[in-house]
Chain A
Amino acid sequence: MSKLLIVSPSPHVHSDDSTQKIMYRVVLAMIPALAWSVFVFGLDALRVTIIAVLACLAFEFLIQKYLIKVKPTVTDGSALITGILLAFNVPSNIPWWIIVIGSLAAIGIGKLSFGGLGHNIFNPALVGRVFMLISFPVQMTSWPVNRQSGIDAVTSATPLGIIKEGISNGTPISEISQSLPSTFELFWGGIGGSLGEISAVLLVIGGLYMLYKKVITWHIPVSILATVGVIAGIFWMVNPAIYINPLYHILTGGLMLGAIFMATDMVSSPMNPKGQVIYGVGIGVITISIRLFGAYPEGISFAILIMNAVTPLINYYVKPVRFGGK
């Protein structure tokens, strides 16, 4: 016989899905929130996003090619996601060089120092964000106002910042509320804040798309939001004079962004539904604890990073449901 046959072990067919396709689905899911931020903050938002993406891609390429000398994997889409998420986590008026430093921290420290895609323990974008927050606290927390809100000012504090400040001055919630945007404004995105966190509804739409495309499962976002809601609800019921209602907690700050896009990062979250729920509840508890009792007004970034560190432990102890019982 002239023709040589190819021999390999089974299975001999493969689904047509790929890691790259998954990555681009995540990017697609972020487009609505990104578009809204450009609409709200103008070209500044676009500028920040482009700088973040280009910096992330460039650092990934340069470090892989010249420092660790492996074949660059910039086309896999993961650095693109890190770039957009990084931009989502900063104010639109941030100086360009801070973004570049943040990108270096995200890609260099957060990702490549652990061995690149799939090996990083922490979500790279959050490593970058926290690096910037600690290094440049002033620039990272002065937000330009939402052009849709009609307030005539250059910068404004976030709702969570106003609450934290008010409560520490002993002002009751009923009084603070007058200077806060309504729940409805929070929902559709008529508030100030970081690029990607302002419109809860658009983040949810992105999340539903990822859910439909099976990029994520419901376990992580739902358990985070439910935990925050329940704990905030208990405090609110006990003393509504100093605690704001749970819906406000769910809709403000980076909670939606974190729960839907950051905590669900495949690489740094647990591998089975049981583990994912434990992880989500953990993030919820830490987030609300920081918000209610911590020094920072917002705690989702730290909460996710802390639970990222716990993920290997969860994977070690929490096993999926086995066929045939224990």
Chain B
Amino acid sequence: MLKTFKLGGVHPPENKLSADKEIQVLPLPKSVFIPVAQHIGAPATPTVKRGDEVKVGQVIAKSSSFVSTNIHSSVSGKVKKVDFSEDSSGYPKQGVFIDVAGDEWIDEIDRSEELAREFDIDGAEIIKKIQEAGIVGLGGATFPTHVKLVPPKGMKAEVLLINGVECEPYLTSDHRLMLEKADEILVGIQLLMKALNVEKAVIGIENNKPNAIQLLSEKTKNYKGILVQPLKVKYPQGGEKQLIKAVTGKEVPSGGLPIAVGAVVSNVGTAFAVYEAVQKNKPLFERVVTITGKGVSQPSNFKVRIGTSTSELVESAGGLPESTGKVISGGPMMGRAIASLEVPVTKGTSGILIMKEEESKRKDYIACIRCSRCVSVCPMGLEPYLLMTLSQKQIFDRAENDRVMDCIECGSCSYTCPSDRPLLDYIRFGKGKVGQIIRSKKK
């Protein structure tokens, strides 16, 4: 039976242009820029300096606290400099520039393609390996995975949910990975189950990917405790809270973590990375990236080394179209428009979307006619029209009472507003301010 979440949601055109394009390996770049902050939490501390020789898989920045993670070199060559450059946020971030020479990997990595199904390793060791391999949530949130696997005291995970929803229009990297690396993902899920000490895992997949549902349903018969749950297509089902609601029927309380309802959510890409880290000793230094858009001559899925510039990816997909107006890191609903093609692919880059100029411009907005569509599409049950006004007028105490901090910034309100009002822009502003006020009160 198809399931979905109850409150709100929208149906943007799916435009999965690259869904049947096999994952290709992107040619090695000539140079890379690997930021030391590619995750939520403290930036890692660089451990290399100008002139150092590095190999693929070598640690080049060390995790600086518990909520942080290691950064590994994705190429072999010589460190050109450790300096600041723009990442997808638009701000200069510290990172390591490496000039590529050859492709020499550290010896520990098992480079065979053979499936390594068996493991004999306890949970704590799995978590340690995940931590060392620098694995973060690859769905886009980039929260360090090892942190998720250690529930706060007094809380216990009951079920592992695997996010194969990929509800963002255009993106297909998770879809391709599920089709091409199904067994590896399933072994990764078993490893995560062992680390969490849970007996049950459910993979949620929207039914616009029937081939992935079929393949994984077939394969899960050989893996104890793993189920596939087909889901009705609805954005933002890939949101953690929405996925938990859709699969388990439980609602994460306001301000709470998924573990409050006994759930831990991981992306299929993350499960694959866990497989590689534990079974193949391979740190996270490459990922699958979709490059797509209506003007792109060859929408594709590439396996890309972290730190490769967006422009190299764009060249491999047929070059930047003449019609380009906007380049987005991520999907069209939550992705970030980047200002320069020099921005590198990082652990959280699930796709690069190139939009035509005519798709890129916003219309002028007009008066709110109080049609209440923003209220009915909000998956968190908020009132975006009101939160926008409260943020504009800077009435932050009321915005807080009306739960502005619950906003997951999915963009359904702005997407649906018939008056083209920039609801989420203002809500983000309000959220930022309210967050500041809450933090200053705590101090």
* Contact status A324-B370, CB under 8 Å: no
Known: A271-B385, A323-B241. A14 touches B414 (CB 8 A): yes
Q: Which residues of A contact B (CB under 8 A)?
A: 1, 3, 5-15, 17-19, 21-22, 73, 76, 78, 116-119, 217, 266-272, 315, 319-325
- Other than the given A8-B362, A13-B12, A320-B382, 16 more pairs (CB < 8 A) read A3-B320, A7-B90, A8-B360, A9-B424, A10-B332, A10-B335, A12-B355, A13-B169, A15-B415, A22-B371, A76-B366, A116-B367, A272-B375, A315-B386, A319-B402, A324-B252
Q: Which 8 A-B pairs have the closest CB atoms?
A: A11-B411, A118-B367, A322-B381, A13-B332, A324-B254, A271-B372, A323-B380, A7-B337
Pick the residue among B372, B380, B409, B415 that contacts A322 (CB under 8 A): B380
Q: How far is the CB of B261 from chain A (nearest CB, A)?
A: 10
Query: How many residues from B make CB contacts under 8 Å with A?
Result: 70
A5, A268, A269: the one contacting B324 at CB < 8 Å is: A5
B28 in the interface, Cβ–Cβ < 8 Å? no
B contacts, CB < 8 Å to A: 7, 10, 12-13, 90, 169, 241, 245, 251-254, 256, 320, 324-328, 330, 332-341, 353, 355, 357, 359-363, 366-372, 375-376, 378-383, 385-386, 402-403, 406, 409, 411, 414-416, 418-420, 422, 424-425, 428
Query: CA A192 – CA B369 in complex, angstroms?
Result: 34
Chain B positions within 8 Å of A268 at CB level? 370
A73 to B364, alpha carbons, bound, how many Å?
14
Q: A5 and B367: CB pair below 8 A?
A: no
B420 touches A18 (CB 8 A): yes
A105 to B428, alpha carbons, bound, how many Å? 40
Q: Is the CB of B12 within 8 A of A325?
A: no
Whole-angstrom CA separation of A111 from B245 in the bound complex: 43
Task: Give CA–CA (A117, B409) in the complex, Å.
Answer: 28
A12–B329 Cα distance when bound, in Å, is 11
Inter-subunit contact B375/A271 (CB<8 Å): yes
Question: Is the Cβ of B428 less than 8 Å from the Cβ of A9?
Answer: yes
A315 to B370 Cα, complex, angstroms: 11
Can you list 28 residue pairs at the A/B interface with Cβ under 8 Å?
Answer: A1-B341, A5-B325, A6-B326, A6-B360, A6-B361, A7-B337, A8-B337, A10-B334, A11-B334, A11-B414, A12-B333, A13-B333, A14-B362, A14-B363, A17-B418, A18-B420, A19-B418, A22-B369, A117-B367, A117-B369, A266-B369, A271-B370, A271-B372, A320-B382, A320-B383, A322-B406, A324-B252, A324-B406
CB-based contact A11/B324 at 8 Å: no
* B12 pairs with A15, CB closer than 8 A: yes
Tell me if B367 and A119 are in contact (CB < 8 A): yes
Q: Which residues of A contact B383 (CB under 8 A)?
A: 271-272, 319-320
Q: Is the CB of B332 within 8 A of A12?
A: yes
Q: How far is the CB of A117 from chain B (nearest CB, A)?
A: 5
Which of the listed residues A13, A217, A325 has the most CB atoms from chain B within 10 Å of its own CB?
A13
A19 in contact with B419 (CB, 8 Å) = yes
Looking at the assembled complex, report how far the CB atom of B258 sits from the nearest CB atom of chain A, in whole angstroms: 11
